[in-house]
A = this chain, B = another copy of it.
Amino acid sequence: MDQIDIEVVADPELDEPALVEGLPGVGHVGKLVAEHLVEEFDGTLVRRAYTTEFPPQVTVDDEGVTELTHAEFHHVDADGVDLLVLTGDHQAASNEGHYTLTDAFLDVADDFGCERAFALGGVPTGELIDDDEYGVLGAVNDADAKPELEDADVEFRADEPAGGIVGVSGLVLGLGGRRGLEAACLMGETSGYLVDPKSAQAVLEVLQTVLGFEVDFADLEERAEEMEEVVGKIQEMQGGGGMPSEDELRYIG
């Protein structure tokens, strides 16, 4: 097997699609958004990406049938807006692999004619967030893209996130920029301790506004309620009403 092997599953013509990247990361925000789009709009699998940068592993499905680990591109038709949604279970295993993998992902986006990209993720705040205050932090590889995002309530803060943006999301902007792809990173604020469907919803609201579609949030809201029950139970077990400690939260999800 080559370092990366892109399998063509389907090859539809897309109309100026936006690449939407949602690989695993902080709070699994990006992954939740990407999977929600694929499910709600009944996306079509178009590419599988196998790579020696992923763990040597098969997953087992509900029938006991295995599948070699890979990332997937789905075509999502969101109210007539074409999206090319990238999701999966892993980032690359090495520095070099992140570069090679992102380059291969951007080649796929080129093939489908993507001229802009959204790299989705979470930005950890270190504390639980009140319901109405899920902000979305943005970063762009082209300053011209800021006004449209600011109109959609994306915040830009000088030098944040302080450590930069790492992994495939960062390189979608960095390598994308070098090949002329306008890319934005949308980072939902999240505690950083929990899988965070509410943060995912905040990011989705930005995407809706910017790209002009509407999606049902019921499933994400349900998952958010489940997470709240989990937190509630931990608090009960503690025998107190206070917030769970950071150590308790860190392992939920």
**Docked pose: A64 CA to B60 CA in angstroms:** 42
Q: How many copies does the complex hold?
A: 4
* Contact A158 B62, CB 8 Å, known A68-B174, A95-B93: yes
Convert A225-246 into 0s and 1s, putting 1 for each residue whose CB lies closer than 8 angstroms to a CB of B.
Answer: 0000000000000000000000
CB neighbours of A30 from chain B (8 A): none
Instruction: Give the interface SS of chain A, mostly helix, strand, loop or mixed.
Output: mixed
| A15-71 with Cβ < 8 A to chain B | 50, 52-69
Is B171 within 8 A of A68, CB to CB? yes
Is B64 within 8 A of A138, CB to CB? yes
Asked if A208 is at the interface (CB within 8 A of a chain B CB), the reply is no
Q: List 30 A-B contacts (CB under 8 A).
A: A1-B175, A52-B95, A52-B99, A56-B92, A56-B98, A56-B99, A56-B168, A56-B171, A58-B141, A58-B174, A59-B164, A60-B139, A60-B161, A60-B164, A61-B159, A62-B158, A63-B146, A64-B139, A64-B146, A64-B156, A64-B158, A65-B140, A65-B143, A66-B140, A66-B170, A66-B174, A66-B177, A68-B171, A68-B173, A68-B174
* Contact A173 B66, CB 8 Å, known A53-B95, A56-B99, A96-B3: yes
| A197-235 with Cβ < 8 A to chain B | none
Chain A interface bracket (under 10, 10 to 19, 20 to 34, 35 or more): 35 or more
Is A58 within 8 A of B165, CB to CB? yes
Is A58 within 8 A of B170, CB to CB? yes
**Docked pose: A244 CA to B46 CA in angstroms:** 53
CB neighbours of A157 from chain B (8 A): 64
**Docked pose: A46 CA to B143 CA in angstroms:** 23
CB distance from A171 to the nearest CB of B (A): 5
CB distance from A144 to the nearest CB of B (A): 10
